[in-house]
Amino acid sequence: MSTLPACPQCNSGFTYEDGDNFVCPECAHEWPRQATELTEAAKVYRDSAGNVLQDGDTVTVIKDLKLKGSSGVVKMGTKVKNIRLVDADHDIDCKIDGFGAMSLKTEFVRKV
């Protein structure tokens, strides 16, 4: 099941497809499907040093990160292997030894 993009003008999530266009029923804005596909493919993830990140990379945490809902801390210098990039509030999904599954922001990691 594919998710349709939000309207670029009013940010409504109720868009629908009409031929080769997307249409927003709230503000009546129409835009071509090709323009949306190009902007989604152009998303580039960069680490704190500006290096381009890709799925499967190994990164290092650059500062101590407190864990929400726990008293644990991910220490600076912790290596994270085999990252997965996602388009969410946190850019990286990964597993850290001793902590388990976690989401990180790219601004707190550096590519190894």
For 93-109, the pLDDT digits (tens) are: 999 988 899 999 999 99
Q: For residue 28, how many C-alpha atoms fall within 13 Å in the half-sphere facing its CB?
A: 0
pLDDT of residue 8: 85
Please tell me the distance from the alpha carbon of residue 7 to that of residue 29, in angstroms, as a whole number.
Answer: 8
Please tell me the distance from the alpha carbon of residue 8 to that of residue 32, in angstroms, as a whole number.
Answer: 11
- Closest by CA to 17, choosing from 8, 9, 3, 26, is 3
For 44-101, the pLDDT digits (tens) are: 899 999 999 999 999 999 999 998 888 889 999 999 999 999 988 899 999 998 889 9
pLDDT of residue 33: 82
Please tell me the distance from the alpha carbon of residue 15 to that of residue 102, in angstroms, as a whole number.
Answer: 31
The count of other CB atoms within 10 Å of the CB of residue 86 is: 13
